[in-house]
Structures are given as C-alpha cells and as structure tokens.
C-alpha cells in the first residue's frame, strides 16, 4: 500500500456554459500534500496559456489545482479525474485509492477528437462540428486512457479499449480485442487479448488469451477481488470468477466461476470410488494448477502442473 494519504495535481477543467464540469486533464500529478508555499490560486503559466473558451464545443477550459485525501471518497469531477490520473500514472495501484461513488462525479460525455462535449451541446452544434472536422468516437462516463496519459513502455493497439484509470506496467501489450477497465491492470510484462474487468490485477508474465474474460466486482456487486498470478495463461475464450495462482493454466473455452464444481482426479477417492469434488472457490489463488474439461465425462477438473508457467516473447514485451 502507498504510504501517502494525500495527492494533488494541476490541470485544465472543461466546463459547459451551463456550469456542468465534463472532465479535468491533469498535466502534473503528485502524491503528498500540496507543497508548502504554493498558492493554490496561482497556476503554472502553461495552464494559463491553454485556458479559455472553445466556442466550437460550447465549453470553457479553466486551470485548476486540486488536492485530495486519497482514503476519502471522491467529492467532485476534478477530484474523480485526479484519482484516475494517479492510477494511470502508476502512482497508486488499484485498490490503494478510494473510488467509492465515483460514477456520481463522472457525467456522460460525448468524446470527440477535439475534446469532451455535453450530449445536448453536441446535438445542437452538430452542423458546425461537421464543418470544423470534429467528430465523436464514443459517449461514456470514462475517456480513453491515451487521451490523457501515455504510460511509458506500454503498447495499446486500439485506444478505445483501455479506459483512463487503468494501471498498465511497462512491458504490457494490449492487443486490438483486449480491454482494460479503470482500477484494473497489470503488474509486469503481460499480453492482454481478453478482458480485464474493474478491480482485477494481472501478475507479471501472464497471458490473457483472445476473448478471455476476468470477472470483476463491479457488475455483480461482490467484494472478492479477483487476481491473476504470475506466468498464468488464460486460454482463448476462457473465463474466471476466482483468483488464479502463479504458474496456472485455464484451458481454452473453459469458464470457471466461484460455484463451478471441480473434480480433483489426483486426490484419493472416497470409499465408494467417487472422486473428490470441490467448489472452485476452494481453489481460488492456488498455484500450479491446470483447469480443464474432461472430454469424455464433461466434468471440469483441476490437476497439478509442474514447472514454470507460460513464457512471453521477450522481444515483443521489451
């Protein structure tokens, strides 16, 4: 966990004529309290130069300096955006900062190649936007990561697939069909061709195969934080709702949820000859396992793997 309880940043807030705060882009972020002697009303000269109205989008850009307590819940749109920036700048890891109620401070925004717009203003100004070459690429509460932060040492094939607030470590590659939500990400070199949901952390050297899905806590309202260990392979179109330990493999096409019944063929059988069966939650986080479906019986099995897990292409993830 980070030892800091405060953070601050200076940037540009976008506000509509009606006073709706759409976003805040922080050019400078840091952990700790606002430095002593810094007047929060005195902005860096570069922010003053960028501030001002943008009549094309019906917004005004204003320089702001924001200081927050990271253990407390977000209290405003600039506060929420600072937290997302801290994650994507890798200053805090997912789970180390309070994001309770963040949706209430993130309005639905039309994201354009010229910046954020209010949906009503986009419809009203559409003819002028077309003539100015301004077009929309999404309507969402969260923007694309690389519109605000470019994490060093990371490759992202499709910008729309990674949200601001994702935590991506150097050596991570997110391919075209990969997806990384906010407050989720990777802790080392990783190949991401599947979905990393909110709250999920993927360990160093792991491969999230094409179409694979890792369940988060957002949709189901649960509290268990799913993690993927180091050197793990989630096969193509597989999925997990439990934590997967180091050096483990989930075979292609297999979905393992918390309630999935898992047969343990290597363990001693009962007196009647039946194999031991457990719920998948009992194997959550256990290292060195291969999860597979028996092609004859259809049962989901877990057997012990030996040696290290997958090995990524060093050149590709350098």
Share of the chain above pLDDT 90, in %: 82
316 assigned to some structural domain: no
pLDDT at 221 (0 to 100): 47
Statement to judge: residues 135 and 23 lie in one domain: yes
Statement to judge: residues 195 and 237 lie in one domain: yes
Statement to judge: residues 156 and 221 lie in one domain: yes
216 assigned to some structural domain: yes
50 assigned to some structural domain: yes
Tens digit of each residue's pLDDT (9 = 90 or more) over 270-293: 777 788 999 999 999 999 999 999
Statement to judge: residues 128 and 204 lie in one domain: no
State the total domains in the chain.
Answer: 2
We report the CATH number of the domain holding residue 160 as 2.160.10.10
Statement to judge: residues 153 and 281 lie in one domain: yes
Distance CA 196, CA 198 (A): 7
Statement to judge: residues 278 and 183 lie in one domain: yes
pTM over 0.95: no
38 assigned to some structural domain: yes
In terms of residue numbers, what domain contains 176? 145-304
Calculate mean pLDDT across residues 48-60.
92
Establish whether 193 is a catalytic residue.
yes
pLDDT reading at 250 higher than 60 = yes
Q: Which listed residue (21, 62, 193, 301) is catalytic?
A: 193
pLDDT reading at 220 higher than 50 = no
Tens digit of each residue's pLDDT (9 = 90 or more) over 194-210: 999 999 999 999 999 99
Last residue of a domain, one of 125, 140, 155: 140
How does the average pLDDT of the chain come out, rounded? 91
173 assigned to some structural domain: yes
Statement to judge: residues 125 and 219 lie in one domain: no
């Amino acid at each position: 966990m980070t030892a800091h309880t405060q953070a601050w940043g200076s940037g540009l807030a976008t506000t509509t004529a009606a006073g709706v705060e759409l976003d805040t882009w922080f050019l400078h972020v840091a952990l700790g309290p606002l430095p002593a002697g810094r007047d929060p009303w005195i902005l860096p000269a570069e922010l003053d130069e960028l501030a001002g109205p943008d009549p094309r989008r019906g917004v005004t850009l204003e320089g702001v300096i924001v200081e927050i307590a990271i253990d407390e819940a977000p209290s405003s749109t600039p506060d929420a955006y600072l937290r997302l920036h801290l994650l994507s700048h890798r200053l805090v890891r997912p789970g180390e900062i309070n994001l309770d109620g963040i949706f209430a401070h993130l309005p639905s925004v039309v994201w354009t190649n010229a910046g954020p717009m209010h949906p009503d203003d986009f419809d009203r100004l559409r003819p002028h936007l077309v003539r100015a070459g301004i077009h929309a690429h999404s309507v969402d509460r969260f923007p694309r990561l690389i519109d605000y932060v470019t994490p060093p040492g990371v490759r992202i094939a499709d910008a729309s697939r990674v949200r601001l607030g994702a935590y991506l470590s150097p050596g991570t590659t997110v391919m075209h069909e990969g997806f990384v939500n906010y407050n989720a990400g990777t802790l080392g070199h990783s190949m991401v061709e599947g979905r990393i949901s909110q709250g999920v952390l993927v360990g160093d050297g792991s491969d999230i195969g094409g179409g694979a899905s890792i369940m988060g806590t957002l949709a189901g309202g649960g509290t268990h934080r799913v993690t993927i260990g180091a050197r793990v392979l989630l096969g193509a179109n597989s999925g997990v709702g439990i934590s997967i330990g180091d050096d483990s493999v989930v075979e292609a096409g297999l979905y393992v949820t918390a309630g999935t019944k898992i047969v343990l063929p290597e363990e001693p059988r009962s007196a009647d000859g039946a194999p031991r069966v457990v719920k998948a939650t009992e194997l959550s986080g256990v290292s060195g396992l291969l999860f597979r479906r028996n092609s004859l019986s259809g049962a989901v099995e877990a057997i012990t793997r030996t040696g290290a897990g997958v090995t990524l292409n060093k050149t590709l993830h350098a």
